[in-house]
Amino acid sequence: MRMCLVMLPMIMMCFGCNRAEDARRKTVRNDLKQIELALKNDHESNLLSDSEFSQVITAETVYYTTGPQQSRPPDGQFPAGTQVNVVEESGSYVLVKSEGGIEAYVAADAVREQEGATVEVSGIVEGGNRFAFDLYRQLRSQKGNLFFSPGSISTALAMTYAGAAGKTENEMAKTLYFQLPKDQLHEGMQALQAYWTTPNKQKGVRLNLANRLWGNEGYEFLPKFMAVTREKYAAELTRLDFGQTERARQTINDWVENQTEDKIAELLPAGALSPDTKLVLTNAVYFHGIWADPFKKDRTKEDTFHLTATDSITVPMMHRSDEFRYGAVDELQILELPYGDGSLSMVVLLPKQIDGLSGLESRLTVQNLQRWMASVTYEDEVKVYLPKFRATSQFKMADPLKALGMESAFDPNAADFSGMTGGRDLFISEVIHKAFVDVNEEGTEAAAATGIIMQPTSAPFEEAKEPPVFRADHPFVFMIRDNRNGAIMFLGRITTPLE
């Protein structure tokens, strides 16, 4: 008898902030420059190789290039995980040389010896971003606003992949761009989740992750599968009686709602579970970030938003003229809005033409995003107009995932999840994903949840010029992105801010 599996990844993000001081903004700017350098991996030939770094920065920390702190603003920040070598000890400070080639003084207690090789996540990030854009193309045909969390979906599917075998395993690997051996993949997913929990809420970023397994009472799973989900995803097992379907559904929905700060309610609709359900895997993410510089509420004015070239509405339009990372390329404007300490940012992709959204969506690829982001530079002033917006999206993901090549996982006669139970008695019947986003003057609040259900078988200096104007008064694409590794955590579009 084939059983059923439900998987629910969830993500929640919200943002609010206080205006940063000039010194703080300089720190964030320099930090982002350091992150950008690391992401491009554009090291000079005379820098040390990774294997030659013996220390690591344990938490995001400020640095000073000309000497220890002397009652002056820092020159930048090293992200957590930056590899360094100690060049000179100087009391409570040490002079280090970073993997990006920066020599600077940092607090001595922010540096420790490396403990083994650093887990490489760049391949997982690139694959995850490819999957994000593939999935976007499958979902873009729906009308109106669109918002989902590829990070949440990938994490839940990675937990399921731990129990996949044979053709099912191969199809999932191809669809999700999982190119590493399983043990290395799960190590990488663990490291990536560690990145997302690194930001310090005292510096404006809070990001919590939670995973959970919900198993039917009396149904046994292989120790190896349980060990992977517990050790690499911190997913503990909770036993439920799926014979009491409504009670089990409410228990899972309550967990989802709690983990997403009440933003994702009733993820599993009535009838989603059955007495044959045997396993539910859940992933929840809560993100609270603060704009590095907020929009002032008194500058928000009613303004026109063009739904199409011939139809428009009036919406609350936020406005701020300030320093931003900005670029313009391929009939497209790019704006980066950092949260808190600069670890995460919202990136807005705005087509120059009012009716240019479809053309932009057709060009959403990892290669194009890399090229577009490479054009982004710091501008001393950009006049930004961004609408306040809110959107909720819910999807059944089975058909899009099957269209991307994950077919046998949903076929009760072909699915092979023998790595979970030792037998071929599980298949995925549905994947449910729900997401919420709210953007205002203080920041952004967002949440997402995914459920998978398995049923039994049966730039250079220039002279003064006019500052660029970024006026998001027509449909655009946006994403929440990890600046330290380039991972896309949330992805969507806004066609009407008042939905």
| Residue 49: pLDDT band with limits 50, 70, 90 | very low
d(CA 367, CA 359) in angstroms, rounded, equals 16
- The label of the residue with tokens 């269209």 reads 403
Mean pLDDT lowest among 68-72, 203-207, 439-443: 68-72
**DSSP letters along 162-176, please?**
TT--HHHHHHHHHHH
- In order of their start, the domains of the chain are 1-42+119-499 (3.30.497.10), 54-113 (2.30.30.40)
Instruction: Tell me the per-residue pLDDT of 148-178, one tens digit each, with 9 for 90 and over.
Output: 989 889 998 999 999 999 999 999 999 999 9
Which range has the top average pLDDT, 27-31, 284-288, 440-444?
Answer: 440-444
Instruction: Tell me the per-residue pLDDT of 410-444, one tens digit each, with 9 for 90 and over.
Output: 998 999 999 999 999 888 877 888 888 888 888 77
Average pLDDT, the chain: 82
Q: What is the mean pLDDT of residues 59-69?
A: 73
- The label of the residue with tokens 């990001």 reads 207
CB atoms within 10 A of CB 116: 5
Distance of CA 31 to the CA centre of its chain: 19
CB atoms within 10 A of CB 365: 14
Share of the chain above pLDDT 90, in %: 43
| Residue 261: pLDDT band with limits 50, 70, 90 | confident
Which range has the top average pLDDT, 13-17, 166-170, 270-274, 462-466?
Answer: 166-170
Please give the pLDDT value at position 433.
85
Flag whether pLDDT at 387 surpasses 90: yes
Smallest CA-to-CA distance from 315 within 140, 435, 439, 436 is with 439
Please give the pLDDT value at position 463.
52
Please give the pLDDT value at position 12.
28
Please give the pLDDT value at position 69.
61
Please give the pLDDT value at position 460.
42
d(CA 25, CA 19) in angstroms, rounded, equals 9
Please give the pLDDT value at position 50.
39
- Under 8 Å between Cβ of 435 and 392: yes
Smallest CA-to-CA distance from 8 within 288, 252, 217 is with 252
- Under 8 Å between Cβ of 99 and 89: no
